[in-house]
Structure 1
């Protein structure tokens, strides 16, 4: 779990609950984790006692400077009689991380104190082959390997680092400079190679009640010249000026959209803004949307969420389009135009640098060739781009991606239809767990073809426009014909076909049926959709004090309870907000918005103290499960809040 996230598209930094720097990604956000989940932190040494910030003797309160990702942390230690006021920041365009620590002496007498900053990096995520070197040119320590250099340095009014050390960690009984620091003094070892760590010490003299600022920074570059130059520039402008500049630039980015938040509570507005900033941190400069940069999942499953799923990326881009950040989302669409296959589909997932990510979807099943795809991913990218063009009708931009992205994708989807059913052929579902023909996929394909029709018309491609129109209308009718079951009073999740040609219906209640109305196939107020969503609310609501909507009945993923009647599955943030979004879209009066508002509040109350949203929650304790944060959770919150506010505005206008 990550409590604090901040990044600029190339440099991404994450902290855990104890405020240890755990993840350090560069040069692409979500790719090449030089932190490797290790613990980089700092300690206070005073009156022959050393205490690390992650120890239980510290009381920590995490907050942010308003409308920024810059932290405002208060940490106090009654045993040491020391208070710390901490700001952490990543510059929006320069690749450095900056920490400001204001140290207050709470004792009744003057004291000498020392801050010891400890670095535990494994460059490229591999401990072997690193070097940590004291650099007399900068007075800091740089660690490097294979074109990645990380310079650590510190500064206070009374001078820079007075002590330093490098060491070997976790190898043949050696515990590195972490142990070296325990007596409060660093040995001055100037170089170490292999699995290395390092530390810097800066000294202070404080009168009773006095305080002083200390600055610490990490600069990343491809070579020694890069980081030395960055160090000189940082000191030339002064760290405090850089920090002020960072704050102003983020506030300008967030505040450029003037919004009326209607009747939404302050905590909802606060999380809405925090979600925009968190999303921005998880989108790298290539346009890749990282699903989650929380590396802790690797320790459990030996895999992680540090991938671009076109599905997640499309939903995130759509939310940011609604929020007014078209220049950010176009990087994603442009990247998709480069990633899509010649045949017109996307694979399951991609690494943040654009290379193909690992997958569990095979090319062969029971000896027969098949495409290893989730067709909804291809569809959602085109649907989101269509929504982007509808909101931002820039024909020049559309023409730059129409032939490379839109036309091959819609052509593939129209060719990948089963003529006997007028539905898409089998592919993997959006949860990546089963293969067949699914309602969510069909809804997404309908939305993509409707978007394709609109974009083809704008580009003067009459053949593609006409074909998209014809196939989408046939598909819309086929969805009702094949997926709605009168005996159940709702749509079904999907079906599969065995080797003998027999169809097997998948009747499991699944929150993804929301996709039938979300992308326009079925109107939200249609009785068939109304019946379906009401039944899903009954069957998938978690009947504990935590509440929330499960993904589907008997969801095994991170399952903690087997009493399915009470807990059909763990509550997810995004599936609960899907229900809220449906309430918004079907509303014809202000009173109809009340259930949606309650669910938005539910989601806001489930955020971690620092404002990050998890993927899912423990059904009895409400504690976060799986990754924290999940970018898709934040984008769904943003999208739901914006659709709520827009519908509220429409309904208010209709009253006058």
Structure 2
């Protein structure tokens, strides 16, 4: 479940697997449809008649190129150096692979490239068509309103010399990709149903010479759209596309830097790319583009959870990229319910997504929500306003978002002032959770501040009083002298003292001071009980069984990236930058080669586990590095 080099423009998003195969191909107005569904597009090479499908064994390097959302991949073989630059254009829906070839041998070489297209349009392989279009000079895959044109062009203005379309995954037919393995393609011009296709591009290259081949896929909603884009395709246009994409991302990623060591600064930029690549033009921010999880549960992470998206918007905002945050706030205003809360999760086009949260428990109707998702939205909006002082932008959200959510949060409380029961951030338990209390407290404080800015002093006092009452009830109901720490939740009226990393929220969101003795004892329990001996890192909570590798009483659960970074942020707030940095270093050491973070880490091997990338992991890294930079600067000053 590892994805490399996500590349996107808000409408198109591509990811690769470890074998440098396109594995997810999202495309629509809001990048909401996966047209490959985890089925790989293979890439073959033949040198002087010796054919192979490229895989991880042939790859020497795969990373982002020089602080840009452009992939660079190096794979030498048979005396030839191949370097690919992969990108998605910011302005048109074109995926481009620029292959630079250097013949480092002493002989003339014949090189054949085989590009495999493996579309599952609209996420299925029913009723697809693959056909060679002579007027477009390439193979088109289409169904209904989704068209994809694949073709090539080289330095001599030559294009593909062979093609094939065929049936895949039907009976004994594995796919047209098998047709490439003898170096010759069938030239079958059209296939329907479950189909794939292969293009061949051939060159001869002399010793010591360099040459370039371009492979591209154009996406559109109909024939005329891809035809119009194709009419612009020539060498000058492709080179222009490459320059503008590279220049755009170089400028975009250089706005703000944590000014740490070069490796950490580079990782910071990569995290920004991951977040941005998962955002669309509507304002949705997906949790992950990794579709392999579909094989386990027939559902995935390519949704917008308001919590994950709010944290991601906050990360981009403090890194100087406010546009995505602004789009997210605009979308959220249209999604918040009349009652004033955000739903569990949404599709990337803004429609309500699948949910496992029930509407009824023990015969009692409930809201199927996690209240922290509503609270974080208000808190992040205030943090945006506090940073940018953008009253003109923020004003329209005051009544439709802030007041609506704040009124819900002040009414959705028990008689003691604590939030009523909802589901926890881990989406597992129904009750009153410390993380929910912390984020709701922060949101009510934010709403009070907003009301004060807009001159609504009565509302400001109301929200502030609700926050204070909530804090006092938390101290009374959640802390135990017997345990010497806070409970993670009250479930069914009883406190749950399972040690949970989410308790770090009481500091992160400002409800408690980090030096408070009650906080210190709670955080010490997290480090003692949740640190995973051996591989390291912080587990979510004691006896966490989610995606557990095996039963093992010595392992509290799989370590997570976000939970480890939460503790780094806590230690930094106490002034212990050394301990905070050590946890950052642990996270850095568990990235992929291209700087991608997964959701979890295998507690025995240290390898990525569950979806990868996870946008939340990257957002927390951005936030943590920005905070470390600030604390470090203040200490030096």
Give the structure-1-normalised TM-score. 0.95
Asked if the contact 1:28–1:352 (Cα under 8 Å) also holds between the matched residues in 2, the reply is: no
The aligned counterpart of 2:500 is 510
Superimposed CA distance per residue, residues 566-597 of structure 1 (whole angstroms, 9 cap, x where no aligned partner): 3111110110000000111121xxxx211011
Aligned equivalent of 1:362:
358
Q: Is 1:576 matched with 2:555?
A: no
User: In 1, Cα distance between the equivalents of 2:240 and 2:592?
Assistant: 31
Residues 1:616 and 2:606 aligned together? no
Is the contact made by 2:69 and 2:249 (CA closer than 8 Å) also made in structure 1? Answer: yes
Q: CA deviation at 1:28?
A: 5.1
Counterpart in 1 of 2:71? 71
Tell me the distance in 2 between the aligned counterparts of 1:86 and 1:292: 25
Partner of 1:342: 338
Counterpart CA distance in 1 for 2:38 and 2:218 is: 19
Q: Following the alignment from structure 2 to structure 1, what is the Cα–Cα distance between the partners of residues 343 and 381?
A: 18
Offset of 1:4 from its aligned partner?
Answer: 1.8
1:176–1:260 distance in 2 versus 1, CA, 3 Å: closer
Name the SS for the 2:231 alignment partner: helix
Where do residues 272-421 of structure 1 align in structure 2 (5 Å cutoff)?
272-419=268-415, 421=416
Aligned position for 1:500 = none
3-state SS, counterpart of residue 51 of structure 1: strand
- Per-residue deviation at 1:3? 1.9
Confirm or deny: 8 A CA contact 1:29 1:282 kept in the other structure: no
Unpaired runs of 5+ residues, structure 1, are: 498-502
Residue of 549, 560, 565 corresponding to 1:560:
549
Secondary structure (helix, strand or coil) at the match of 2:470 reads helix
Question: Does structure 2 retain, via aligned residues, the 8 Å contact 1:89–1:246?
Answer: yes
Paired position in structure 2 for 1:473: 468
How far residue 147 of structure 1 moved from its aligned partner, in angstroms, is 0.6
Q: Which residue of 1 aligns with 2:47?
A: 46
> Alpha-carbon deviation of 1:404?
1.4
Once the two structures are superposed, residues 192-226 of structure 1 have per-residue CA deviations (whole angstroms, 9 ceiling, x without a partner) of 11111111111101112333110001111111111
Shift of 1:561: 3.9
Aligned to 1:239: 238
Distance 2:511 2:107 in 1: 72
1:480-519 matches, within 5 Å, as: 480-497=475-492, 503-519=493-509
Paired position in structure 2 for 1:92: 90
Equivalent residue number for residue 529 of structure 1: 519
| Alpha carbons 2:569, 2:624 under 8 Å: kept | yes
User: Pick from 421, 425, 428: which aligns with 1:430?
Assistant: 425
Shift of 1:241: 2.4
8 Å contact 2:70–2:246 — kept in the other structure? yes
* Residues 95/30 of structure 1: CA separation in 2 closer, same or farther (3 Å cut): closer
Query: Structure 1 residues 29, 12: CA separation in 2 closer, same or farther (over 3 Å shift)?
Result: farther
CA distance in 2, matches of 1:39, 1:63: 19
Q: Which residue of 2 aligns with 1:627?
A: 611
Give the aligned CA root-mean-square deviation in angstroms. Answer: 1.4
Indicate the SS of the match to 1:33: coil
**CA distance in 1 between partners of 2:181 and 2:351 (Å):** 43
**Segment drifting more, 113-122 vs 621-630:** 113-122
Structure 2 SS opposite 1:243: helix
1:376 and 1:99 mapped to 2: Cα distance?
42
Partner of 1:175: 174
Q: 1:10-49 to 2 correspondence within 5 Å?
A: 10-27=11-28, 31-49=32-50
Partners of 1:3 and 1:598 in 2: CA distance? 26
Q: Cα distance 1:237–1:403, how it changes in 2: closer, same or farther (>3 A)?
A: farther
Shift of 1:236: 6.6
Shift of 1:65: 1.7
Structure 1 residues 298-350: Cα deviation after superposition (integer angstroms, max 9, x where no partner): 01121110110011111111111111111221111111111111100111111
Q: Which residue of 1 aligns with 2:210?
A: 211
SS at match of 1:234: coil
Shift of 1:107: 4.0
1:548 corresponds in structure 2 to: 537
Distance in 2 of aligned mates of 1:59 and 1:11: 25
Q: Distance in 1 between matches of 2:214 and 2:197?
A: 17
Contact 1:14 1:24 in 2 (8 A): yes
Are the equivalent residues in 2 in contact too, given 1:29–1:290 (CA < 8 A)? Answer: no
User: Separation in 1 of the partners of 2:235 and 2:97?
Assistant: 17
Determine the C-alpha separation between the residues in 2 that align with 1:15 and 1:60: 15
* Contact 2:14–2:25 under 8 Å retained in 1: yes
Mapped contact 1:523–1:529 kept (Cα < 8 A): yes
Tell me how far apart the structure 1 counterparts of residues 611 and 322 of structure 2 sit (CA, whole Å).
Answer: 27
Corresponding residue pairs, total: 635
Shift in Å, 1:141: 1.1
Q: Distance in 2 between matches of 1:26 and 1:467?
A: 46
Q: For residues 249-264 of structure 1, what are the structure 2 equivalents within 5 Å?
A: 249-257=248-256, 259=257, 261=259, 264=260
The CA distance in 2 between the partners of 1:358 and 1:63, in whole Å, is 34
Which deviates the most, 304-313 or 519-528? 519-528
